[in-house]
Structure 1
Amino acid sequence: MRYLIIGAGAVGGTIGGRLAQSGHDVVLVARGAQYAALRDNGLCLRTPDGPRTHRLPVVDRPEALGTLRPDDVLVLTVKTQDSAAALAAWAGRPVEGGGTAAFRLPLVCAQNGVESERLALRTFRRVYGVCVWLPCEFVEPGVVSAAGTPLTGMLHIGRHPAGSDDTARAISADLERSHIEAPVVDDVMRWKYAKLLSNLANAVQALSGAPLDEEGRALCRRARAEGEAVLAAAGIVYTGEDEERTFRGDKITLKPFDGSPRGGGSSWQSLHRGTGTIEADYLNGEIALLGRLHGVPTPVNDVLQELADDAARHRRPAGAMPVADLVAAVDARAGTGG
């Protein structure tokens, strides 16, 4: 199989680099400065076992790749706010032998949140969800670091909305030869909803900085409690924290191999890089949406979504808002019942 990594940033670069290192056929898809750096200098993946530069094919749009192959796997690793555009760009691409990507090829959503799978399933016949546990960072154009050891990450994979098949097992086998554990599960969305709950803390970290102090952690617990109440009202099941800890064990330990501490998560990185967008609409905003649908107030997640969006829109740096101010904003909203 050939893997087309659509969004070769931190997650995409790490997955693509590890697959390439183990001998798999990989094409990177990127834009702007990242595309130019990958084209000119290759992908530098820094891991605890040493940096490696991978000279891989790279394109900045589907048309540059031409007709797709029947053995292609589309791996979507853009942020969810960019999913609709990416799906529209790739769905109609012709495949050798006839038909289009949407009709013939598997589409793998290796992203936070639960919305991309829904979006993809409108056009793609075969959609796979991936619960991403992959500590990695975009360092600079062309350079990605992944500090996990002995495994680089863990990617649960399964069909969306449920089930598994030979394609999922084949992808899993390729990943597991690439320093990434990839359990095939019939209930991948149960794992993704659990990850959604943990990702509700991303906005707190992005706005107030990493690592969080006790006041920040307390606010994260409030956001999660809202999320749990909303999922219960919606009848959505998710993996429990004990099950996650038992399954993951000590398989992934973070090793800051360059001597510097890891920065923040994906939302923190969006503000840090000044991208102008952030995925809060699909993390805290998912809880807010479900809360409105099922009559559950979500003032904490409402405020976190609003403030994260505002910070991204105005390109404010990560960690610019003291956690006390963030808590005060949440309390003011909660106190008004808004």
Structure 2
Amino acid sequence: MRVVILGAGAIGGTIGARLFQHGHDVALIARGAHGEAIGAHGLTFVTPQERVTLRIPVVAHPAEISWGADDVVIVAVKSQDTAAAARNLAVEAGQVPVYSAQNAVANERILARWFDQVHGMCVMMPAEHIDAGTVIAHSAATTGILDVGLFGGGSDALDDELAVILEASRFASRPVGDVMSWKYRKLLTNLGNAVQALCGDGRESPEGRASLKLLLDEADAALAAAGITAVSKAEDDQRRGDHLRVTGIAGHFRGGGSTWQSLARGREVETDYLNGEIALLGRLHGVPTPANAQVQALMSSAAASGTAPGSMPAADLLARIRG
């Protein structure tokens, strides 16, 4: 099996680095300055235990790969880039099996417009990518959790095989029959990404926590109205607690999660597929979701104007989403 990573940022880069370190056949698809830096100097991979440079094969576009029957693609681009990435991949690679190692729950459906074999991958991994050519993983021992399963439910032999490979490469991974229920739980967790990106450390203030509660209360109501079941928070906490050990890295300031990082890098944010997913479900099922819709709009404005992470006082955010 060759694993092709489409999108070698924090998540894709970390997965590719660990697989490559453990002797697996890996190729990265990474565009722009990040891909150019990897091509010229290798991927710098930083963890609590190491700082290494890995000469992983990298290309800028799926057209530059000679595709084979044993290839598997892990899609790790941001959700707003999935449709274009899927189209390019399908044109060049044909019916390759694809795994969505992405936040949100819309990506598998987008991929299924192009591919017969679509799998979900529920990613729990404290990793970051700010500087071109570098990815940083903050969990000691186990690097992250990558549970896999079929988009339509159940799991198959490919899930079994990939989980074994990932487990042998310092990830916790297992086939699960309800991977989308796990990804809906991850969606609920990610609703706070915008609060962190907008307010920084203010996320932990009473006002920040109150904002997050409003977002989650709306989400719970919207999922219930839609008949969608997420795994319990207790199950999620147990899985994380069993495997993730977030550790500081000497000389490195750890920023925020994926949305914070996108804002810090001046990139588009995927809030439309996080809080925007809740707003969509609310509109479809007659459930008011004004807080999530307001956060979606605030994040869109912040990204468009180049606002730095942490620029909004938490009290201001709470006042805005309360209306």
What is the TM-score of this pair, normalised by structure 1? Answer: 0.93
Q: Distance in 2 between matches of 1:159 and 1:176?
A: 18
Residue 305 (str. 1) matches residue 304 (str. 2): no
The alpha carbon displacement at 1:70 in A equals 0.7
Residue 287 (str. 1) matches residue 258 (str. 2): no
Equivalent position amino acid for 2:107 in 1: S
Aligned to 1:120: 111
Q: 2:145 aligned to 133, 149, 154, which one?
A: 154
Percent of counterpart pairs with the same letter?
Answer: 48
Equivalent position amino acid for 2:145 in 1: M
Is 2:147–2:175's contact at 8 Å kept on the other side of the alignment? yes
Aligned to 1:32: 32
Aligned to 1:335: none
Aligned to 1:179: 170
Q: What does residue range 182-197 of structure 1 map to in structure 2 within 5 Å? A: 182-197=173-188
Q: Distance in 1 between matches of 2:37 and 2:257?
A: 23
Aligned to 2:86: 87
Equivalent position amino acid for 1:130 in 2: M
1:167-219 C-alpha deviation (Å, 9 max, x unpaired)? 01111111101110012101000000000001000111111113622211221
SS at match of 1:114: coil
Aligned to 1:226: 218
SS at match of 1:92: helix
Is 1:211–1:264's contact at 8 Å kept on the other side of the alignment? no
Aligned to 2:231: 239
Deviates more, 1:240-249 or 1:143-152: 240-249
Q: Deviating runs (4+, > 4 A) in structure 1?
A: none
1:111-137 C-alpha deviation (Å, 9 max, x unpaired)? 000001000111100000011101001
1:58-101 C-alpha deviation (Å, 9 max, x unpaired)? 10011122x3011111110000000001000010225xxxxx2x
Is 2:202–2:314's contact at 8 Å kept on the other side of the alignment? no
Q: Distance in 1 between matches of 2:16 and 2:201?
A: 27
The alpha carbon displacement at 1:260 in A equals 3.9
Q: 1:133 aligned to 118, 121, 124, which one?
A: 124
Equivalent position amino acid for 2:81 in 1: D
Q: 1:217 aligned to 186, 209, 229, which one?
A: 209
The alpha carbon displacement at 1:327 in A equals 1.1
Equivalent position amino acid for 1:265 in 2: G
Aligned to 2:322: 331
Equivalent position amino acid for 1:256 in 2: G
The alpha carbon displacement at 1:306 in A equals 0.4
SS at match of 2:198: helix
Is 1:231–1:237's contact at 8 Å kept on the other side of the alignment? yes
Q: Distance in 1 between matches of 2:270 and 2:250?
A: 28
Q: Distance in 2 between matches of 1:284 and 1:248?
A: 23
Q: Distance in 2 between matches of 1:38 and 1:79?
A: 19
Equivalent position amino acid for 1:272 in 2: A
Is 1:210–1:264's contact at 8 Å kept on the other side of the alignment? no
Q: Distance in 2 between matches of 1:331 and 1:257?
A: 38
Q: 2:159 aligned to 159, 165, 168, which one?
A: 168
Q: Distance in 2 between matches of 1:123 and 1:59?
A: 22
Equivalent position amino acid for 2:173 in 1: A
Is 1:210–1:263's contact at 8 Å kept on the other side of the alignment? no
Aligned to 1:60: 60
Q: 1:322 aligned to 306, 313, 323, which one?
A: 313
Is 2:28–2:59's contact at 8 Å kept on the other side of the alignment? yes
Q: Distance in 1 between matches of 2:110 and 2:41?
A: 34
Structure 2 unaligned spans of 5+: none
Residues matched between the structures, number: 322
Aligned to 1:254: 246
Equivalent position amino acid for 1:293 in 2: L
1:236-273 C-alpha deviation (Å, 9 max, x unpaired)? 00111111122332421111122444211100001011
SS at match of 1:56: coil
The alpha carbon displacement at 1:295 in A equals 0.3
Shift in CA distance, 182/211, structure 1 to aligned 2, threshold 3 Å: farther
Is 1:130–1:188's contact at 8 Å kept on the other side of the alignment? yes
Q: Distance in 2 between matches of 1:196 and 1:253?
A: 21
Is 2:124–2:240's contact at 8 Å kept on the other side of the alignment? no
